[in-house]
Structure formats: C-alpha cells, structure tokens
Structure 1
Amino acid sequence: MIRFKIVLATVFLFSFINANAQQSQRLINNWEFLKSDLGGIWEAMRPTKPGSSESVPIWSKVTLPHCFNAEDAVDPDVNYYQGPGWYRINLKIENPYINGRTILHFEGAGQKTQVYVYNTKVAEHVGGYDEWTADITDAVAAFKKDTSFAKRFANQIPIAIRCDNSRDLEMIPSDLSDFNVYGGIYRYLNLDYQPQLSIDKVFALAQVDAEGKQGTLKISSRFYNPKSIQNAVVDITVKDPQGKIIGNSQKELKSFKIEEELSLMTIKKPILWSPEIPNLYSVEVKVNQNGETATQTEKIGFRNFEFVKKGPFKLNGKRLLLRGTHRHEDHAGVAAAMTEDMIRTEIQMMKDMGVNFIRLGHYQQSRIVLNLCDSLGILVWEEIPWCRGGLGGPIYQAQAKRMLTNMIEQHYNHPAIIIWGLGNENDWPNDFTTFDESKIRAFMSELNDLSHHLDKTRMTAIRRCDFCKDIVDVYSPSIWAGWYRGIYTEYKEISKKEFDSVDRFLHVEWGGDSHAGRHSESPDDALSKVKKAGNGDEREGDASLYGGSARVSKDGDWSESYICNLIDWHLKEQETMPWLSGSVYWPFKDFSTPVRPDNPVPYMNQKGVVERDFTKKEAYYVFQSYWANSLMAHIYGHSWPVRWGEKGEARMVKVYSNADEVELFLNGKSHGVKKRNSQDYPAAGLRWMVNYQEGKNELKVIAKRGKKTVTDNITQEYQTAKWGAPAKLTLQEIADADGKITIEAKLLDANNVLCLDAKEYVYFGVTGDGKLIDNQGTSSGSRKVQLYNGRAVISLFTNGGKSIISVKSDGIATAFLNL
C-alpha cells in the first residue's frame, strides 16, 4: 500500500513549480531588451510610435534565453558589463482554468531579478541559479479591469523584467570566482497556467540495499493553494522502466494542513539505475479538485552508493572508478544562454568521451542538465556558489542557505546526484577586510547540518579548504601536479598522501591549459625548470603568467602536446590506484573568466578538452582511449598541419585508441602493429618513431578489437628549413562557404620561412561591409589571439560586399587582404 504526506504551501512567491504544468509554454520570441537601467518602470511601459523622437532609450529585439554578456565577456578591449538590464514583452494571457493561477516560471536569471505587470512590481528574487516563480494572477486581473489600459495594449498584458548582475560583496558568488557572474534571463522562462490548487513539489525518495534485493519508495507532496481550497482527491501512480504500473493509490483530502503523512512502497528486486543502464521509474501525482486536475511526473532511479571509508567508491555494491569532468554554463556567442539543443550536445559529448561523473561548477545548473544526467547515466556533484572571497554577513549567509535549500529541494529526485557541494576554495580571501577561519568553519558546519537535514541520503563535499575538510563527508584537496605545482609524475604519490589525511577522498580539479592548435616537438621541456613539489596545490597568484617560482602554468608552452602527456600519465596511473574513488578533470569545455586577461585567448580559461564552441581538442581523444566503450582510434595531430625537425630525424607518432592492436601506415608503408598496454607510457604503447619525408605526408591507422575495425588518417607537412627572427605577417583566404570566409595569418622570417614556434599576439581587423566572427572565446574566434605554431585563423561574414582584412603584431608591419 502507498501512504504519502501532504504539505501545504500558501506563499505568494514560491521557489519552484512542477515541470508538468497543465498549460505551459516557453516564452522565447517577441522580447525587447535594454542594456542599461531606466529612470523608472514607466519608461518601459509608456506607449510610443515606432520612429518617434520619444522612442528613447532604444530597445533591441532578442530571443530567450538571453545573456547580457554574450560577447563582451571575452571582448579583449573591455571589462564585461555588470549592471542592470531590462526585458519587456506584451503577452496575451488566457488562463483556461476557472480562477486559475498564472505563473511566470524562471529556470534561472542573473543575478537579481524584479518582475512587473505594467507598473506593479509582483516579485523579486536574488540568486542567479535557482529556479523560481512569480504569480502574476492578481496583477493581471487588476490590469484587465481598466479598459483604457487593455485598449492601449491591444488586450495584451505588458510584462517588464529587470535583471542586475552588478558587483555586490554581500551576494554569492564572489566576483573573484574565476568565472563570469553573468546577467540576463539566461535560462528558459515559461508561462504556466495552473488550476486554483496545484502541485508545488513532489519528493520521491527511492532507496535500495547494496545487494539490490529490497527497495523502498517514499513519496511526499507540497501543494500550491493560495486561496485555501478544501476537498480534493490525490492519485499516485508508479511505473517501472518498461512503463508497467507497479503501484496505484487514491486518497481524498478534506482539508490541507501542514503535516507529514509518510508514504511507503516496498519494491522487491527493483531494476537498478547505473551509468551502464540508467533505468528510470516514474512517479505521477495528480490532484483533482472541482473537475480540474494538476499533474506532476517525476523520474526516479534505484541505486545504492557508498564512499568507502579509507577506500574507493561503490555503486550497487561494486567498485566504480568515478571518471569525471566539470561543466560551466558557458558557450561561444551566447555565454550562459545555452539552448536545450546546445546543452544536450554538450552532455552527450561528455558521455561519448566515457564520463560517468560530472561536478557542476560552481552553482546549481539547469534542470535540463540533470534530466540528461539521469537518462544518460552520469553521476553528479552539484554545489552552491559559495566560491572564494571569504564570508560575508547575514544577508550573504542567508542567500547561501536559501540557495542550498532551493538546490536540494528542486533536484531532490534526480538519481544522478550523489553529492551536494557546500563550497569551493573557501580558504581564498580578498572580498572582506577580515578573514576569520573560525567563522568560515562555523558557517560550513551550518551548511553541512542543513544539507543533511534536507537530505539524509546524499554526501556533502567541498573542494580546497583544508581547515574545513573534517566537516564534510567527502573532501577534495588541491592537486595540480604538473601544472601549478611540481611535475605530473608526482600525481600518485601526492594523491595517496592526501587520501590518507581524510576519511573519504575524491580528487576533483586537475589538468592544465592548452591553446587549441598549438603543438610541440618537445612539450615536456618546461619540466626541467620545475622542482618536485611534494604537494600539488595551487596558490593565489599561480594563474598569473608572471613572477613566482617556476611552474608549467607560467613556464610551459601551453601546447596541446603537453596537456595530452599530462592527462595520459594521470589516466594510466589511475588504473593502478585501487583505493581511488575517482578523479574529475577541470573542465570539459573552455570557459570565460574576468581574471585571465593575458591568456592566449584573452579572458578565457583554456583548460577544457573542447573549445568553447564544442571543437574537440586532442585531449578529448586521450580520455576516450581510456574511458570510452565504443571502439575508437585517433592519430595525434589533426590540428597540427606542420611538423618540423632535421632531415631524416625520427619523429614520434602517437595514436590514442582503446583497440587491442593498431597498425600505422606512413605514405602507404606499414610501420608495424602495436598492442595496447595502458601502462606503457605514452599513448599506451601505441607510438612509432618514423622518418617523415620533407613536404606532404599521409598517415593512416587501422585499429582492431576482436572482429571490429576502425581507421583514422591525417595529412601533415614536414618542415626542415630553419627559421630566424619573425619578420613579416601574411594573410590568405583558406575557405569560402555561404558568405563566410576564413582567413589565415602566418608569421614568417626574412626568408619567408614559417616561424613554427612563434607565440606572438596578433590583432585582426576589418574595414568595409564584412563583420569579423570574433568575441567567441576560441582560438579561431578572437580578434586578439596568440599564434599557434606561427599561424592563426579567423572568419568573417562578407554580407555580400567588399572588405579589407588586416592583421598586426607589435613590432611587425601590418598585413592587408582585399576581399
């Protein structure tokens, strides 16, 4: 029998509304936007004729999701905009329910938001990553009563929304958090029609023992009932992953009280959820009142997990090595305003790489992300944005607690989530005049207690705050072996030392930056300058490219070649660490940050294995070769058009593959078959020393696993000519398709030899009808960018006209190209 609890919520502004509203639509089109503040709400509402001299300020047409900082976050010449911005729209509102509620459901908006119906403020919210709602029912009714208003706005309802991402020390996250604190309605906004009585939340707790023999399902509900409706019937239906009904019940409610009546359903041998087979049950809750029905359906999964004390991680009673990465909500051309298709593409790319775990850094993310993790089988650490800067006062702390509560309640049912993150780098001062470790410890304890009170089934965790590591369930120290500290061959030794210092250890954040398209014949040279560290922690100032002790982050070449070596070493070592719960590479995709203006792509953290536009770097395939199940093979160097060396000098060719054996062909000649051995570093033994011919070379591999075969091939030039000091720049068109032209700049010496180690910044410009495709935060989408092996590319739209493209570099004559 199913028993359940009923909890009544009678608040005007409530934090969450179900995803299955009876009538719901995304509000995407017909918006206008103003990137500044207004003198008052009337400036958004006053009627003006198009082209009138009174039509100021000038609004622009946009679609949602929309971010203030779609381009300026990575504009090399400006600080990104932090301030207010306004959105407005006229909506036709026709609620089909008798006395129904009309709701604006925000999936996320940054960072402080106010909602107006005509000139009446109906709601406000602080926190850029929560879901929240504004009930506009009463304000809409009041507006409709005035017939002059209705006529003026053609029987539509004027809505205005003010978002503000201004700097505010008493708001999390800190502006020093190494990611942009974006502004705008950058997640979906929905118009929901609800009956008088609807469902706020359903909490469905699915639990199972480690052997998978016995499962329980507890269900509770919270209703939205602003008019204190009485007498309703609630139906609960539970279906297994095949859609078969395994539980059904009905209960008549005479009145609604805030009380807990626990429901409990016993399920023998439930079908388990795992990364390999992410089986999902469904729980449907319907509330029926006076002939109207509100429905909410939640997906749940049965899984048992354990971080073994002084040991590894177990899922459903078996050891599982967590193979993870991180996700920031950030993308080329849109910043935080990623569409559902973009999000789906990104999470699928992670799954295809072999990921079974994601840490969502450093804030609650879209429900779309969590739904995909549930359905694809990816475990999750999700955290609140208490990140760097110290600890603020009561307002600051109240927001942190509120966001933790929202995150847990809103994502409570997702089987993918196993960890609630309470903070990141909270040992990093700077926002306040005092930095008090004891107060940070006390507040961390409050958050830890709150998390366990709201959800007793999941772990708590933080990263990098050693003086709080005893408070949470799982701790991740800072280990950046081979980047910010030491050399990467210290990784296992440092990790074991840190593992021994805590009860439950998980290594999140490791890796290093790589400038996409830059490669090296001797990538590990910088390691000769670096001393063994004995620890791998990054410290304040380590991200700087200037000063301090020798470190690869400052003294290395930032090549894809080096990062592939570092990752390769880490992954082969992890296969020999039976005590390791897992590791989580930082991050999956390059993302923008205001604190790194001097990077090869300005204002970009370039540690991703894909670029900000989903272009895969070579490192993606290193991970695939260790983690992916589908057969793959990838010759290193698809983005390395020209290699160099002496005539007749042997050069290493590496192949990243999960095949049993691989055969390499150079210019049609076989160089033999190699068998894969993960402990034969580098490239798991799939490497050959070959002699390139001068000029063009064709490489091909055939990889086999059992009866399955895959191939890969690339073309590379081999340059033996030596180059001198850079002397001149050239520009040439290398592609032209559908009005989009791609231009390549090269830096040559006085004898026209390509300077293959050149790293100078170059600056692209355009005059005429064309428009550069820049401010993308990619190596091929920035008008200011460091060269990669003496070259750089950028594209432009011709707009059907003529243009002059320029490229310059300090101390080098500007080059021009007529298009």
Structure 2
Amino acid sequence: MTRQCVFIFGICFSLVTNIVGQTAVEGRQKISFNSGWLFSKGDRDASLPDRATLGWQSVQFPHTWNDKDVLADGERGYYRGIGWYKKNFRLQPEEGKKYFLRFEGVNQEAEIFVNGKAAGKHIGGYSAFNIELTPFLDPSAEQYISVKVDNSFNENIPPLSADFTFSGGIYRPVHLITTGEQHFSMSDYGGPGVYVSTPRVTSQNADVHIEYHLENGNAYDQALTIETIIQKESSSALARKKTTVIVPALQNRTVEVICPDIGGFELWSPDNPAMYYVESHLFKSGELVDNLTQPFGFRWFHFDPEKGFFLNGENLKLMGANRHQDRIPYGNALSDDMHRQDMRLLKDMGANFLRTAHYPQATEILDNADQLGLLVWEEIPLVNEVTISREHDENAEMMLKEMIRQHYNHPSVIIWAYMNEIYWAHRFKPEEELPARNRATLALARKLEDLARELDPYRYTAMAMHNYPAYEETGLGDIPMIAGWNLYHGWYYGNHEDFGKFMDEQRLKYPRRIHFISEYGAGSDVRLYSEKPEKFDFTIEEQINFTRAITRQILDRPYIAGGALWNLIDFSSERRVDATSHINNKGLVTVDRKPKDAYYLVQAMLSEKPVSEWGYSFRQQWVHAAVSPSDTLVPVRMYAFSNQKTLSLYVNNRFSAESEVKDGMAEWLLCLPPGKHLLSLGQNSTYTPEKRIETTLIPFHLKDEPTLDIAMNLGVNYAFIDSRTGLYWIPEREHRSGSWGIIGGKQLYIGDKVGTKEDILAADEEDPLYQTMRVDPSEFRADVPDGTYEIELLMVDYVRKSRRFADEDKEITYEPGRRVFGISVNGRVVEQAIDMGGSYGLNVPYRLVFRHTVKDNAGLSIQFHPFKREPVVSAIRIRSVRY
C-alpha cells in the first residue's frame, strides 16, 4: 500500500489531473563523452571547426596536463596556463529534443565552442556545469566542439593559494545528455533540478518534500505531468503520485510535492546506510520527455555544544579524515574506481566521517559516502585569503550555490563549509592592509553564511580556522554554526598535550559553540625510522605518537563533536619542501594507496570489528651498531595495532611475551640474534598475522671484519632505508675508542625542528639524507683493518630559513664564499676548499666519492677543516673494495 502525496505549485496557474494512458518513449538519455578528444597545450585560437591534428595529443577524459610536471623534477612550479581540447562527432539533431554537455569538473576556467560558435563559459574548477548544444548544432550531423581551459592564477577565482596542486584540464568525466523540449532544469547551478528534503523524520514516519525545477524550451505553453515514486532500489514504492502543471512558453517553473507521513523505511546511518530514491518522470501528452532518479535517506541529526553530534537520536563521535582528489602520477584525473578505492580505505579504517578538503569532489565520492555510511563535511575552495573585489565575492557565492544545488540530495552531507584558514596569508601581507582585508573577509563570510542557510535550512554551516588570534579578534569565528579547528600541536608548534589545553580554553571562552577538529595530522616518510622520534622528523614512529595522542584527546572530550585527520592519503603539493619533495606526506596511506602504520593505529582506535595488525608495514630490516664489545643481539622495538585487550607475541613459533593494548597499540622490546625471524600474534580470536624480519649487527670492533659496508645518516636519530635498493643508513653515532663514529659538531636544527626539510635539487630519492646534517664535525674515525675502501660523503649547503613552501625559488641561489672547508683522509688532502654554496648553489647536493687504502693498522680518519664557517656533512658511507 502506498501513501498519496500532496503538492504545492510555485506558479500562478496550476492544473491537476490523473493521466492514465502513457506512451513508451525515450525520456532522458545520458552517455559518456570522454573518448576521441585531441589536446594541445598553449594559448592559441582553436575555436573554429577543423581537422588539423598536427602537434595535438590524443587523450580521453578524465585528463590533466599537470600529472607529470608536479613530480620531483628539479624544477619549481608547474604549468599554469591555457590548454585546448577538440573533438568532432556525429549527431543528427531531432526536432523536439534538447542536447547538453555536462562537464563534471574543469579546472579552472572553461570556454566551450560548438561548430565555431561560443556556447558557454564556466568559472571554478570543482563544480559541474551544463552547456546546451541545441542552438549550435549543424543539421548535417557532423559536429565540432572545442574547449578552452585555463588554470592560470586569477585573483578573482578561489582558491588563490593553498597547500595542494591546482592541476589544469578536463579532469572529471563529460556526458552527452538528451531530453525533450520540456525537462528538469539543466540551468540550476549544475543541480539536477529535483531536490529532496526530509524536514521531519522519526523512527516510525517522515515527511518527504520534493522540489521540481522545470524548463519549457517550446514557444507554447505546455501541460506536463510529473510522476513521483519514492522507493528503495527496485522494491515496492513507499509513495507514488502524478501531478499535472502548466509551464508557460520558454519559461522555468518550480513545483513542490509533499509526501507526508511516510512509513515502512529504515533509517540511514553509518552502520546501516539504507538508501532510498526518488524516481521522477516528466510526461507531455502521455509521452515521456525526461526522467531522473535522485538519492536520499531517512535520518535526522543535530549538534550539541556539550555532547557533540547526534544521529537519529543517538550520540555519535564523528571520526575520519580529510581527502584530496589526487593520485600520483595521475594528478587529479582519477577514474571512478580510484575514487571508490579511496572511500573503501576510509570506511575500512573504521571511520564514519569525511571532509572533502578543500573543494566539492566528484559525484562518485558523494555516491560512495551515501552507500558506505560516511557523514560528510563539504566546502568550497575559499582557502588562505580573499581578494577584495566584487568579482571575487560573486565567484565565491556562485561556488557555494553550485555545491549545495549539486549535492543537496546526498544523505551523507551534513555540513556545508565555506572558508579554510582564511587568515593564513596574513603573515605575508603588509600590516596596513590587514584591517581592510579583515572587513572584506567578515562581509563575505556573512554573505556566504546567509546564502547557505537560505539554500539549505536543514544542514549546518562551518568554517575551518587555524591557531591564529585574528579569528577571535575579528569575530569571524562567531559567524558559522560550527567552529572547525585545524590544529597541529606537537607537529608545527608546541607539544601534544597543548592540544587539549587549547580546546578546553576554547570551550570555556565559547561554551555555546559547536567545536570540531577539522584537521590534525603529522607527516611521515615510510623510509624513516627512529628509536628516538621527535617533532617534525617525519618518521613513522612520530606520526604514530602524534596521531595516538591527539586522537585520544578528541575521543576523551564529549564537547568535541569529531575529528578529521589530515590527510587520508599523501597528496601532491608542488610547493612543499618536506621529507618527500612536492608531496604533503601527512597521509595515513601512501600515494599508491598502501596503508602506513598510522592507518592501522586509527583503525584499531575506531573500528568495532576485531583488529590485529603488525606495525612497520614497510619495514623488514633492523640494523644495529653495537654499543659495546659484548653486544651480540639486535634490539628490536616491535609493536602491533589492535582493539583487543592483550596480544601475545611469538618469535619463531615460540611464545615470547604478552602485552596490554593501550590506545590501539601493544609494544615489545625484543633482543634477537642476527638473522631472519618469524613473528606472529596470538589472541582470543583465531586471527594470527605473521611478519618476517631480518636483523643485522654491526660489531663494535671492526678490525676483524674483512668486508665492511657501513652507511650512516648524520645529524639525526632516524634510519633511512633506500626504497630502491634496501640500503640501510643507520642513525648517526659518536665515536667510541676502538670502534667507529663521528667526532665533534652538533645536529642542525632550524626553527626548533631537526634538519632543513628543504627540497634537495637533483636528488629526488635521497632528500632525507641531505636534509639533516652534522654541523662543524672535526673527524669521522673508524678502526678498520688494512685494505682499500670506497668512501662517500653526502653534503649540501642549505637555505637557512624554516619554511613549508618554496615557490619563491625561481632559480638556484648562489652564495659564494659563505661556507668553505676542506677534507683530508689520514692526512692526505681530498678537497682543498669546498664552496658548495658558491660552486653548486643552495640546496644542491654534493656527493663526493673516492677511494683510500689503509695501511700499517692506521685505521681510517676523515678530517674536516673549516676555513669560513663550519663544515657540514649529511651522510657517510665506507665500503670495502678489492682495489
């Protein structure tokens, strides 16, 4: 039995009838339009129809021209400019039909030409848009289309700057859509023209409102009938209704249909993402002229300043991650399967929340959020700063309208947001400009807040703020319904415990605010491992320490509605100068979608399903340099991630020890002989994962070692494991009598962070080796046996500022004569006077490789002689050779 609906017309004249007879016709057709395109980069006029293909590249969508030039290539910057796409196709236009192209995403300005005529434009790189082809089609059936795309910086188009790459191109799919002359709107900010709301939902019944936007492309008034069906997939309908209306010639009309008191449904939630659909059919004289199916779900929710978030009446901590639409080496041109893979990673992590930082994302992402049960914060790309201009504000408003219209029907979306760290660029602006910028930012925020609430009164609004006093001083943080916080205590500043103190102070100051942690995270390079992790060292262990500490503090505070880790996946940020150049590596998953240790930690802390996973996903080697002549075992700090109470460790099939699981982790300190070992876990369940490792001991005394290969990473406490060869660069050690190590000097710290974390030019795979260094060492000494040794010294002179981005570097910077030093081995001069800053330039590596023969039990002594300022050495390797 289905319920009847009542309907309300947003027009002056309406007519209600029941249509019985219907003729089976086509309705809407939607086909992919992604193949057979040609592409050429550069500014030219390619708008006219032609078959010239010389120099053009054959491509298919999705496509970006920045998939490769954002990688570590020794050059700063990537192409931001114009690219052209063209395609010829056959289409015989039929009378009574309308033809449209739907572009799901073009970054960031697009001009479309059909058969040489301008058909439309779009501004903004992250929303869909429709272009009508009908008036421009050639009756001969041979059609030509050209698209001019420009991703150049434009001060009036957000985002102006951000910590991600603004890849250009037609990077999401394109579809050819055919409808009748009367159809659901194709001009409503890219939205479907059918909008579903559930203003009242209980566990038993609900009211469903459907707002239809209709277009009549005919020169005469038309009587149309809308058939509305509410159902779950292909099951029987919960509600069904036919509604007839007159739409005047060449006009648009809005019709609202209300279906009250619907029952017999399941509530949508992360544990049970029950999806329902509104099927809408548009008839003219019994003939189907258009049809659409739109998703929705039955759920209700609210935020409470003291207790956080409630879904369907139950308190739910929103925990998950941010996600960028990026994958190396594909840029932002991802397939639907790639999008789906990312969403499955998030769900499998135990998450119930996604923030689509910092822009609307592909339809596939929202569809999967609906189907997997992930609640979504979606925002427009208003990042770091605003331009004080009317054009900028209008573009921002348009982006908000497009986002809300296009994704309105997704039950997963609960928050619309419109600014991210919008005062971030203040530090780089002249002081006298700031008052005007603050006023412009406040005025725009109020406009966007009012607009969002007008377009959607049922969802919450938010902005993401960073740890900066201007949000409080200007009152900007009071405007949205939710105060989002991007906080990095213990990574960029302070320590882990400062996070909780900061948030507790915010709660005391603003007890009625809804607080949400929109970002928190630490970077990691899967090649770096430390027994003594520290802030900003990019080791796997420090990412775990940060993630564990902040996640626990969020979970322990009921007033914090939720938290989103930054970021789900390592992503392209061409300006970045971290341990992995051109990449923001705060991801829980690598660029090629392999989970890091922190992913499994979060999974253990959030998931309700049994979890037991070994740590050190990317590591199989433990190399230890003996600290005394009696050392015969290799210490191995091992951990596993679990939501069980305890885990038992077995080594080579023998019980070793039991460990209590605390905040998702169990830990052991093992002492193992050199060799290969099998580790396994035991617990109440039958799940016993295994891990194979290999341990190596470098002896304290080297005199009895005929074959040596020692690689040491100076200036830091972490090991670097070369992913290409497996070569293990151990953390630095100071010399001990009768053994080997570095003498003199100290570790380099810039801005209280170890090393430079600069992009080392021409050394794309070894940045972490060069980024840390021993400053002012006097000697490296090793009591090695007589023989011939190959010696490698890795050195670099560096930019002495602490920075995250380096886009001001347009060319190599030279500083001749600033740092000059010499090198000798056992008294023999190897380099008289090295001037790296003058000869090679800052951040340009110098890898000195030479051979030396040790005689008469002299051992090996590499000495560093300062002439101007201190010597700097980043890594040393000594290797036995035959000659």
TM-score, scaled relative to structure 2: 0.74
Which structure carries more strand by proportion? 2
Indicate the residue corresponding to 2:638 in structure 1: 653
Q: Which runs of structure 2 are paired with 1:410-809 in the superposition (5 Å)? A: 410-429=406-425, 434-435=433-434, 436-464=437-465, 465-466=471-472, 467-502=475-510, 503-523=513-533, 526=534, 552-553=535-536, 557-596=537-576, 598-645=577-624, 646=626, 647=631, 648=633, 650-678=635-663, 683-684=664-665, 686-705=666-685, 708-721=686-699, 723=710, 785-787=767-769
Question: SS at 1:440's partner residue?
Answer: helix
1:725: how far off? 5.5
Question: SS at 2:602's partner residue?
Answer: helix
For 1:138 and 1:754, the matched residues in 2 are separated by 78
1:671: how far off? 1.4
Give the direction of change, closer, same or farther, for the CA distance of 1:196–1:637 in structure 2 (3 Å limit).
same
Give the direction of change, closer, same or farther, for the CA distance of 1:590–1:73 in structure 2 (3 Å limit).
same
1:245: how far off? 0.7
Asked if residue 123 in structure 1 is aligned to residue 120 in structure 2, the reply is yes
Asked if residue 271 in structure 1 is aligned to residue 266 in structure 2, the reply is yes
Give the direction of change, closer, same or farther, for the CA distance of 1:428–1:580 in structure 2 (3 Å limit).
closer
**Which stretch has the larger CA shift, 669-678 or 621-630?**
669-678
Of 94, 99, 108, 1:111 maps to: 108
For 1:426 and 1:760, the matched residues in 2 are separated by 26
Question: SS at 2:424's partner residue?
Answer: coil
For 1:181 and 1:62, the matched residues in 2 are separated by 20
Alignment deviations for residues 577-629 of structure 1 (CA, whole Å, 9 cap, x no partner)? 23331111011011112331x22221111100111121221111111111123
Q: Structure 2 counterpart of 1:655, which letter?
A: A
1:711: how far off? 1.9
Asked if residue 221 in structure 1 is aligned to residue 221 in structure 2, the reply is no
Indicate the residue corresponding to 1:14 in structure 2: none
For 2:169 and 2:758, the matched residues in 1 are separated by 35
Question: SS at 1:709's partner residue?
Answer: coil
Indicate the residue corresponding to 2:61 in structure 1: 64
For 1:746 and 1:120, the matched residues in 2 are separated by 62
User: Does the 8 Å contact 2:27/2:289 carry over to 1?
Assistant: no
Alignment deviations for residues 367-425 of structure 1 (CA, whole Å, 9 cap, x no partner)? 11101000000000000111112333011000110110111111111110110001111
Give the direction of change, closer, same or farther, for the CA distance of 1:258–1:241 in structure 2 (3 Å limit).
closer
Indicate the residue corresponding to 2:82 in structure 1: 84
**Which stretch has the larger CA shift, 623-632 or 467-476?**
623-632
Q: Structure 2 counterpart of 1:70, which letter?
A: D
Q: Structure 2 counterpart of 1:617, which letter?
A: K
User: Does the 8 Å contact 1:462/1:475 carry over to 2?
Assistant: yes
Alignment deviations for residues 706-735 of structure 1 (CA, whole Å, 9 cap, x no partner)? xx43423232324344757679xxxxxx99
1:158: how far off? 1.3
Q: Structure 2 counterpart of 1:160, which letter?
A: S
Indicate the residue corresponding to 1:156 in structure 2: 142
Q: Structure 2 counterpart of 1:578, which letter?
A: P
Indicate the residue corresponding to 2:70 in structure 1: 73
Question: SS at 2:483's partner residue?
Answer: strand
Q: Which runs of structure 2 are paired with 1:386-397 in the superposition (5 Å)? A: 386-397=382-393
Q: Structure 1 counterpart of 2:38, which letter?
A: E
Structure 2 unaligned residues grouped into runs of 5+? 12-25, 186-192, 466-470, 701-709, 715-721, 743-753, 773-791, 793-843, 851-876, 878-883
Alignment deviations for residues 2-37 of structure 1 (CA, whole Å, 9 cap, x no partner)? 1345569xxxxxxxxxxx972211122211111111
Of 38, 41, 47, 1:35 maps to: 41
Q: Which runs of structure 2 are paired with 1:215-294 in the superposition (5 Å)? A: 215-228=206-219, 230-240=222-232, 243-256=235-248, 258-259=253-254, 261-268=256-263, 270-290=265-285, 291-294=287-290
Q: Structure 2 counterpart of 1:250, which letter?
A: K
User: Does the 8 Å contact 2:614/2:639 carry over to 1?
Assistant: yes
Structure 1 unaligned residues grouped into runs of 5+? 9-19, 145-149, 527-551, 728-733, 736-741, 766-781, 792-807
Question: SS at 2:222's partner residue?
Answer: coil
Q: Structure 2 counterpart of 1:446, which letter?
A: K
For 2:713 and 2:313, the matched residues in 1 are separated by 61
Give the direction of change, closer, same or farther, for the CA distance of 1:319–1:632 in structure 2 (3 Å limit).
same
1:337: how far off? 0.6
Indicate the residue corresponding to 2:96 in structure 1: 99
User: Does the 8 Å contact 2:61/2:170 carry over to 1?
Assistant: yes
**Which stretch has the larger CA shift, 352-361 or 433-442?**
433-442
Asked if residue 810 in structure 1 is aligned to residue 813 in structure 2, the reply is no
Give the direction of change, closer, same or farther, for the CA distance of 1:177–1:90 in structure 2 (3 Å limit).
same
For 2:505 and 2:30, the matched residues in 1 are separated by 53
Question: SS at 2:600's partner residue?
Answer: helix
For 2:113 and 2:57, the matched residues in 1 are separated by 19
Question: SS at 2:105's partner residue?
Answer: coil
User: Does the 8 Å contact 1:7/1:221 carry over to 2?
Assistant: no
Give the direction of change, closer, same or farther, for the CA distance of 1:573–1:259 in structure 2 (3 Å limit).
closer
Question: SS at 2:425's partner residue?
Answer: coil
- CA RMSD, 1 decimal: 3.2
Q: Structure 2 counterpart of 1:66, which letter?
A: H
1:112: how far off? 0.3
Q: Which runs of structure 2 are paired with 1:261-410 in the superposition (5 Å)? A: 261-268=256-263, 270-290=265-285, 291-410=287-406
Indicate the residue corresponding to 2:871 in structure 1: none
For 1:72 and 1:129, the matched residues in 2 are separated by 21
Q: Structure 1 counterpart of 2:595, which letter?
A: K
Alignment deviations for residues 640-685 of structure 1 (CA, whole Å, 9 cap, x no partner)? 232244434654321111234322112332113334343xxxx54x
Indicate the residue corresponding to 1:529 in structure 2: none
TM-score, scaled relative to structure 1: 0.80
Q: Structure 2 counterpart of 1:786, which letter?
A: P
For 2:760 and 2:614, the matched residues in 1 are separated by 29
For 2:27 and 2:336, the matched residues in 1 are separated by 19
User: Does the 8 Å contact 1:652/1:690 carry over to 2?
Assistant: yes
Alignment deviations for residues 174-199 of structure 1 (CA, whole Å, 9 cap, x no partner)? 1x211122210000111111111111
For 2:552 and 2:656, the matched residues in 1 are separated by 25
Identity %: 24
Give the direction of change, closer, same or farther, for the CA distance of 1:301–1:159 in structure 2 (3 Å limit).
same
User: Does the 8 Å contact 1:6/1:221 carry over to 2?
Assistant: no
For 2:9 and 2:476, the matched residues in 1 are separated by 37
Give the direction of change, closer, same or farther, for the CA distance of 1:616–1:239 in structure 2 (3 Å limit).
same
Give the direction of change, closer, same or farther, for the CA distance of 1:337–1:31 in structure 2 (3 Å limit).
same
Give the direction of change, closer, same or farther, for the CA distance of 1:712–1:323 in structure 2 (3 Å limit).
farther
User: Does the 8 Å contact 2:579/2:758 carry over to 1?
Assistant: no
User: Does the 8 Å contact 1:6/1:222 carry over to 2?
Assistant: no
Question: SS at 1:506's partner residue?
Answer: strand
User: Does the 8 Å contact 1:515/1:560 carry over to 2?
Assistant: yes
Question: SS at 1:570's partner residue?
Answer: helix
Alignment deviations for residues 504-541 of structure 1 (CA, whole Å, 9 cap, x no partner)? 10111111111122111111xx3xxxxxxxxxxxxxxx
1:227: how far off? 2.5
Structure label with greater radius of gyration = 2
Alignment deviations for residues 109-152 of structure 1 (CA, whole Å, 9 cap, x no partner)? 01000111121111110011111111011111xx33xxxxx5xx
User: Does the 8 Å contact 2:212/2:255 carry over to 1?
Assistant: no
For 2:691 and 2:597, the matched residues in 1 are separated by 14
For 1:24 and 1:784, the matched residues in 2 are separated by 49
1:86: how far off? 0.5
Question: SS at 2:441's partner residue?
Answer: helix
1:262: how far off? 4.8
Indicate the residue corresponding to 1:773 in structure 2: none
